[in-house]
Amino acid sequence: MSRVGRKPVAIPKGVSIKVNDGQVVVKGPKGELKRVVPGGVTIAVQGQAATFAREGNAPDMRAKHGLMRALVNNMVIGVTQGFTRELEINGVGYKCEVKGSNVNLALGYSHPIDYPLPAGVTCKVEKNKITLTGIDKESVGLAAAKLRSFRVPDPYKQKGIKYADEIIRKKVGKTGAA
């Protein structure tokens, strides 16, 4: 059996997990998340733990087994603690501001970039730091990756949008004519 899929997911107080009609619903103090359960994987909630089982031993079934356990664990963490992702903007004249549910970026292009945030994701900007928060790990991560893709960090000048914990190794430029 899968090592990840075998581990039960602990259910903290204030969180409920319900499985019905091929869908798992996790409710907690921060909100509610839903996800479709793939065929061949079953979820059983017993007391303060959820266990996962699979029908067969095919490679794709084993992969779905471990994946579903990890997704439900992330859902439980999301509805209790939430997820955050921090980005840094480096570059002269690069700016970011939040207007409602849109993020407006000035990144040295001839036009400003307006990015509508996905549902359930909030953004906060302080100087050159962008903080994305939400209960769905997938949507927070996708929003952070999309913002980063508007100006990927340059290894020569160290300019662009990078993750706060990302380290960009500086490359040496051309040395000129020999």
Around Cβ 93, how many Cβ atoms within 10 Å? 7
> Quick one: pLDDT at residue 177?
63
User: Which CATH class name applies to 3-80?
Assistant: alpha beta
177 φ, ψ (degrees, to nearest 5): -75, 140
Domains 3-80 and 83-163 share a fold: yes
Question: Which H/E stretch holds residue 125?
Answer: strand 121-126
* pTM of the entire predicted model: 0.89
CA-nearest of 160, 164, 167, 106 to 132 is: 164
For the segment 136-178, what is each residue's pLDDT rounded down to a tens digit?
999 999 999 999 999 999 999 999 999 999 999 999 888 866 5
CB environment 161-178: b (16+ within 10 A), e (fewer): bbeeeeebeeeeeeeeee
Q: For residue 86, how far is the Cα from the chain centroid? A: 11
Q: 13 Cβ partners below 8 Å, 6+ apart?
A: none
User: Which CATH class name applies to 83-163?
Assistant: alpha beta
pLDDT band at 5 (very low <50, low <70, confident <90, very high): confident
Using alpha carbons, list the distances in angstroms from residue 40 to 61, 65, 173. 7, 8, 54
Any idea where the domains of the chain sit in the sequence? 3-80, 83-163
For the segment 74-118, what is each residue's pLDDT rounded down to a tens digit?
999 999 999 999 999 999 999 999 999 999 999 999 999 999 999
Using alpha carbons, list the distances in angstroms from residue 132 to 66, 74, 114. 27, 17, 16
CA-nearest of 109, 108, 116 to 147 is: 116
What is the dihedral sign for C-alpha 66, 68, 82, 134?
positive
Higher pLDDT, 48 or 177: 48
d(CA 74, CA 41): 17
Q: Please state the length of the chain.
A: 178
